[in-house]
Amino acid sequence: MPGEDSVTLYGYETLRGSPPPTDKPIRVISMEYCPFAERARMVLAKKGLEHDIINVDLSNKPAFLFEANPNGQVPGLLHEGNNIYESENVVEYLENKFPETATLYPKDATVRAQGRQLSSQHGSKVIPAFYKTVSSLKSEDPAVRKEAFANFHKVLDTWVEQKLGDGPFFGGATENITDILIWPWLYRSDILTRHRLPELLNADKFPKTLRYIAAMRALPYIQQTAATDEGLLKFVDTFTSGKKPVGYNIDSKHPFYAGPASADA
């Protein structure tokens, strides 16, 4: 990812020993195409905090991933001997630990509470609908895809389009923690709309959503931490083909690692 100090490890390579040593005060265990890990990377970039990133292959989880996160998921944040995991916990930790740099939380208690409510609804409704829509691409039944798209449009209208005011961000003129938590899935929706599924985000139905996406894309720290369109599309292709992605790091900057030729390799 441009502008980040990152190390990418592939396949069975990550199962051997520990990750490379670092002189950075913060380390993030990540995966390039994970939207939850992207939340952590966005906060680190926005706050300008010195860090490095270890991208792992989630189909061959290394032992050190479980040391950072006992659930074997990303992100895992290592800082001052602490292991912080679950993306919302990581975001909150970074905000509380470094409140003096690019604060994310609105000062107004009501606005803050409303943002939490919105991000919670996004997590329980928009995110599942997005994944159901992507999963429907694997089906040969057009009715399955039609139903998934209709449901995604319904929840997107309720919990995104109608929640955006004069904006362009959820909090108004400037972005805040709500945008950080919601953005990764809208970014992926935008990429799919641009390259594969023009009906996913229709400009007539979702003008505020598209205005929001354009505003977020223009932010330097978003550009710094976003995976490329090409890489995300390749990742989606491996998923919709019905094949389990063997090497998760398939960006053009990081060639796809297909694993050893045999189990004994």
β strands within the chain, DSSP E: 6-8, 26-30, 51-55, 76-79, 82-85
* Other beta carbons within 10 Å of 158: 13
* Catalytic residue (one of 29, 34, 126, 201): 34
Q: What are the tokens at 176?
A: 């805040």
Give how far Cα 83 sits from Cα of 17, 50, 77, 93, 161, Å.
19, 17, 6, 11, 36
Order of strands, sheet of 82-85, starting from the edge strand that comes earlier in the sequence: 6-8, 51-55, 26-30, 76-79, 82-85
Which of 38, 34, 35 is CA-nearest to residue 58?
34
Active site residue 34: yes
Catalytic residues: 34
